[in-house]
């Protein structure tokens, strides 16, 4: 996601009440201790940070890097097969609705930027150390540093695609004034950027299409007019399809017709640090006090 959803949530909470599924059941063991039914006493010492394990895992766990490398390697192995199949297309039905004819369209891949090809975990680490939360000013300052590192496998895959005549298109929800810094970061990290049309940021105008919030549907429709999309990559459901209602039911409904596409045409990357899944747990209300939001996430935990 570009730092997309947190930026969207802060703005759209006031407008729309809202650009991983609920936590999975823990493993069951025969010798597992019974679940406590009473509230445990609050531990002494500094409070834990909800994002600490997620960020340190993203930065230090070799498992994190292996997942990214595995996803991009798998995609590379399938890319030329998809290119040869003239009927192969990775755009959802709504995004392909206007431009249905694939004949003569050039092949392309579409990738999100933040936590898909660029690693913004240092920004998250700064928030943890300062005890703060996401805010537009600090996020913009980080983006303008243009020092985010490439995620494992991403540069190699995008270069492979470009070398085989497949257009590489980045769709990001970073603010318009971050376009040049973002392009500079992509280039310095080694990603192929063929020109401004290869980058569709939040301020991209698409004729006869009204963008709602930071939804990417209009920009995907613009890509549909020029390209047959072989694959899409992202760390959020919204990177692949519009989510009409950011709650458990709405999120599940949006991907239900396309579950078989994941690992074939759509490739999801892990992002445990932020995303649309989080505000879905507290009614998309970032205006609520931080502790109230945290309590709703605790209440959403499954203990059996």
Sequence-distant (6+) residues with CB within 8 A of 126 are: 138, 142
What per-residue confidence (pLDDT) applies to 47? Answer: 52
Report the distance separating Cα 240 and Cα 30, nearest Å.
40
The CATH code of the domain that includes 74 is 3.40.50.1000
Sheet harboring 266-268: ordered strands across?
199-200, 167-171, 106-111, 227-234, 266-268
- The pLDDT tens digits for 7-45 are 444 444 433 333 333 334 434 343 434 444 444 554 444
Quick one: angle between helices 136-145 and 121-130, nearest 10? 140
Task: Judge whether residue 176 has pLDDT over 70.
Answer: yes
Q: Any bridge partners for residue 231, and if so which? A: 109
Q: How far apart are the first and last CA of the chain?
A: 31
Residue 215 in contact with residue 242, Cβ under 8 Å? yes
Task: Give percent of the chain above pLDDT 90.
Answer: 79
Structure tokens at 269: 């990357």
Q: Is residue 289, in this structure, part of any structural domain at all?
A: no
Q: Is 108 within the bounds of a domain?
A: yes
- Domain presence at residue 45: no
Domain count within the chain: 1
pLDDT tens digit string along 61-120? 999 999 999 999 999 999 999 999 999 999 999 999 999 999 999 999 999 999 999 999
Position 34 scores a pLDDT of 41
pLDDT digits (tens, 9 = 90+) for 205-234: 898 898 888 999 999 999 999 999 999 999
Which candidate, 71, 73, 155, places its Cα nearest to that of 113?
A: 155
Q: How many residues does the chain have?
A: 304
Neighbours of 93 (CB within 10 A): 10
Query: Rounded mean pLDDT of 112-139?
Result: 96
Q: How far apart are CA 186 and CA 148, in angstroms?
A: 9
Q: Does 76 reside within a domain?
A: yes
The verdict on residue 133 lying in a domain is yes
Beta-bridge partner residues of 199? 170
Within-domain flag for 194 = yes
- The candidate with the shortest Cα–Cα distance to 232, out of 244, 220, 242, 243, is 220
- pTM higher than 0.95, yes or no? no
Instruction: List alpha helices for the chain, DSSP H.
Output: 4-12, 52-60, 62-84, 93-96, 121-130, 136-145, 154-163, 179-188, 217-224, 248-255, 290-299
And the tokens for 221?
């429709």
Mean pLDDT for 237-247 is: 95
146 lies in which domain range? 4-9+51-274
In a domain, 189, yes or no: yes
pLDDT value of residue 2: 52
Query: Residue 229 has which token pair?
Result: 């999309």
Output the pLDDT for position 112.
98
Residue 159 lies in a domain: yes
| Residue 46 confidence (pLDDT) above 90 | no
């Amino acid at each position: 996601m570009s730092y997309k959803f947190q930026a969207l949530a802060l703005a759209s909470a006031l407008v729309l009440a809202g650009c991983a599924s609920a936590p999975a059941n823990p493993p069951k063991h025969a010798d597992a201790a019974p679940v406590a039914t009473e509230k445990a006493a609050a531990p002494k010492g500094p409070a834990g940070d909800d994002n600490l394990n997620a960020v340190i895992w993203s930065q230090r766990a070799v498992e994190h890097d292996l997942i990214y490398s595995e996803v991009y390697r798998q995609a590379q192995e399938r890319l030329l097969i998809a290119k040869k199949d003239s009927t192969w297309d990775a755009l959802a039905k709504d995004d392909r609705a206007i431009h249905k004819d694939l004949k003569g369209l050039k092949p392309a891949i579409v990738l999100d930027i933040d936590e898909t090809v660029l690693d913004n975990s240092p920004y998250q680490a700064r928030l943890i150390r300062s005890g703060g939360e996401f805010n537009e000013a600090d996020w913009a300052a980080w983006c303008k540093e243009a020092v985010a590192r490439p995620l494992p496998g991403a540069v190699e895959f995008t270069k492979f695609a470009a070398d085989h005549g497949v257009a590489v298109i980045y769709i990001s929800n970073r603010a318009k004034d971050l376009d040049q810094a973002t392009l500079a970061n992509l280039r310095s990290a080694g990603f192929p950027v063929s020109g401004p049309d290869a980058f569709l940021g939040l301020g991209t105008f698409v004729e006869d299409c009204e963008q709602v919030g930071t939804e990417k549907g209009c920009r995907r429709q613009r890509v549909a007019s020029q390209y047959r999309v072989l694959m899409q990559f992202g760390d959020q459901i919204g990177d692949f399809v519009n989510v009409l209602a950011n709650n458990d039911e709405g999120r599940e409904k949006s991907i239900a017709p396309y579950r078989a596409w994941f690992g074939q045409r759509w490739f999801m990357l892990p992002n445990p640090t932020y995303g649309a899944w989080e505000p879905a747990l507290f009614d998309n209300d970032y205006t609520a006090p931080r502790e109230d939001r945290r309590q709703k996430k605790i209440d959403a935990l499954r203990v059996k």
